[in-house]
Amino acid sequence: MKKTISGVTVECISGDIASQKDVTAVVNAANARLQPGGGVAGALHRAAGPGLEEEGRPLAPIRPGEAVITGAHNLPNDYVIHCLGPVYGVDRPEETLLADCYRNALRLAEENSIDSVAFPSLSTGAFGYPMEEAANVAFKTIKNIIPGLRSVRLIRFVLFGSDALEIHEQAMAEIF
Ligand code: AR6
């Protein structure tokens, strides 16, 4: 599914965040220490190589809702934007903190003149955020930010599996 608003295309695809060859920046569902972990962080660090962890070390720790940017090392992109999503039921208010992740990631993209960004579904794996709720927060936040974007022209959600894709397509259809 794809929609274009104010010149910015938002799309949902099923795929692997570590193999998005045609986007300038990919977003990592990071841990506070910016170290390799499971899920998205594991996939990105494996593909990027040890340089990603080395570059992240002096930037860590980060707080829930915060985002930092590094190079992409052996990934097929120019940048990785690392976001620490809230742990559902622990880091509160989780809706605000999750929205902060999307806002801060897109702010860093703009500051670095990035034209295309791929997001995973932040916080919906190990951090336990219900996916429907998280998708609503993500699209509402992005919808509000879009009119102010000057560099970013493509925002892609890369979802793991058909259920995740369907949930995001439904949220996107309702909100856009
Ligand atoms: N590409 C796209 N989406 C993926 C991929 C992938 N390769 N792998 C998993 N997902 P998670 P979080 C989906 O756990 O909840 C890590 O261990 C997954 O199905 O990666 O923010 C870090 O080190 C889920 O829907 O991120 C942190 O400690 C979504 O991506 C912690 O997990 C996010 O799952 C972060 O937890």
pTM confidence score? 0.99
Domain ranges of the chain: 2-175
Q: How far is the CA of 64 from the centre of ligand 1 (A)?
A: 15
Q: How far is the CA of 159 from the centre of ligand 1 (A)?
A: 10
How does residue 137 score in pLDDT terms, banded at 50, 70 and 90?
A: very high
Cα distances from 57 to residues 18, 47, 53, 133, 150, in angstroms, run 20, 18, 6, 32, 30
Task: Please state, in angstroms and rounded to a whole number, the distance separating the CA atoms of residues 108 and 115.
Answer: 11
Task: Please state, in angstroms and rounded to a whole number, the distance separating the CA atoms of residues 73 and 37.
Answer: 17
How does residue 66 score in pLDDT terms, banded at 50, 70 and 90?
A: very high
pLDDT tens-place string over residues 81-109: 999 999 999 999 999 999 999 999 999 99
Q: Give me the pLDDT at residue 103, please.
A: 98
- Site to probe by mutation for ligand 1, drawn from 14, 40, 94 as the one with most ligand atoms within 8 Å of Cβ, is 40
Q: Give me the pLDDT at residue 17, please.
A: 98
Residue 102, both tokens: 């999307």
Q: Among 2.20.25.90, 3.90.1150.10, 3.40.220.10, 3.20.20.70, what is the CATH number of 2-175?
A: 3.40.220.10
Those residues with Cβ within 8 angstroms of residue 153's Cβ, 6 or more apart along the chain or in another chain: 7, 8, 9, 115, 116
